[in-house]
A = this chain, B = another copy of it.
Amino acid sequence: MEKEVIHMAHGAGGQLMYDLIREVFAIPLDNLYLRQMADSTVVQPDAQPHPPRLAISTDSFTVRPLFFPGGDIGSLAVHGTVNDVAMSGARPLWLTAGFILEEGLEIAVLERIVASMAEAARAAGVQVVAGDTKVVERGYGDSVYINTTGIGVVPASVEVGPRCIRPGDALLLNGPIGDHGIAVLSQREGFAFETTLCSDSAALNGLVEALLAAAPHTHCMRDATRGGVAAALNELALAAQCGIEIEEAAVPVRTAVAAACEMLGFDPLTVANEGKLIAFVPQENGEAEAALTAMQSHPLGRDAVHIGVVTEEHPRLVLARTAIGGRRVVDMPVGELLPRIC
């Protein structure tokens, strides 16, 4: 049996699986919790209020290719779930990681991915506390799929969510959009084009902390992943039963992204991001300005901008004021723009 690739036996619950877990997963991801090696890991949040409110989120990652400019499936699996937890205003603390490995995967590739996860988790200040490995036969997977589930604690003072959105809220975006989608697409067979563009994949929990410190009455935050800013805003307009109006020219788009979108017929507003959030902040008492300044002072928000406002008009509808002064409806994207982008 070849030692350097994944075999069905690596998923069978026996000695080979334990060796794989110990050597490939437990060492790079090591922490006291993971070392419990029980059926489940016991953690204890030390937080106010008691009992704490917990934010829980799950995401499976099937991105293709596994490695792309600015990241890989391992760092993405950490960032994506950390961000979903952070969007509740929670401090992300713990992740679980479930791997579905395809028979024949090179173990060296898996090691690179796990090292990248470990580094991303360290940088984001979260611990991988539980894991699982399954192996499927060749032709029933695609090298590696990763599910991460994140658990965080919501500080006592924080109250954010779609239900808190109010007319008049300013919409703040932390930087240029579409980098992740176009960077991944640039690596695909059939699309491969030259670009120096990198994915924006990043853990936003630090930015969220800075934002909430400056603007504690922030009403809602959402990261604009699959479906891009267009999907995020449509979801929230629907959930909050409010209208949303954005200034199209205010939304930053890098030249490389704009060019690729032009060429491919994409609207940058529908392209995926993995390190961009939209914050809904009340304009009263200068909170929106304070939030914008705080974001701009953070490395992941240097290019933060005010892109729009929540309105009582046209409930459930997202409109964009175009550069030439008109207004267009920003629809929920229908479907298949870029499959397997995350």
Interface residues of A (CB under 8 A from B): 7-18, 36-47, 50-62, 83-85, 87-88, 90, 94, 96-100, 129-132, 134-137, 139-142, 145, 147, 149-152, 154, 161-162, 222-223, 225-228, 231, 235, 239, 270, 272, 332-340
Contacts and interface: CB of A to CB of B under 8 A. Distances in A.
27 contacts: A7-B335, A10-B335, A11-B226, A11-B339, A12-B226, A12-B336, A18-B235, A37-B162, A38-B87, A39-B223, A41-B56, A42-B53, A42-B90, A42-B154, A42-B161, A45-B54, A51-B51, A56-B94, A56-B130, A57-B130, A58-B97, A58-B130, A58-B147, A60-B134, A145-B145, A147-B147, A151-B151
Given A45-B51, A336-B9, A227 B14 contact: yes
Contacts of A340: 11, 134, 136-137
A8 B52 contact: no
A61 B40 CA distance: 16
Nearest to A333: B14
Nearest to A147: B147
Nearest to A9: B335
B56 A96 contact: yes
A150 B40 contact: yes
Per DSSP, are chain A's interface residues mostly helix, strand or loop, or mixed?
mixed
A337 B168 CA distance: 62
Nearest to A55: B40
A57 B39 contact: yes
A143 to B, nearest CB: 9
A56 B40 contact: yes
Contacts of A52: 44-45, 51
A98 B59 contact: yes
Contacts of A131: 58
A15 B147 contact: no
Contacts of A10: 335
Given A58-B98, A60-B98, A90-B42, A332 B15 contact: yes
B9 A42 contact: no
B135 A14 contact: no
Given A40-B84, A40-B152, A56-B94, 17 more contacts: A8-B335, A11-B226, A13-B272, A14-B334, A17-B226, A18-B332, A39-B83, A40-B87, A40-B150, A41-B88, A43-B56, A44-B54, A45-B51, A50-B50, A56-B129, A60-B134, A136-B142
Contacts of A55: 40-42
Given A12-B226, A13-B225, A18-B332, A60 B151 contact: no
Given A335-B17, A339-B8, A90 B40 contact: yes
A333 B40 contact: no
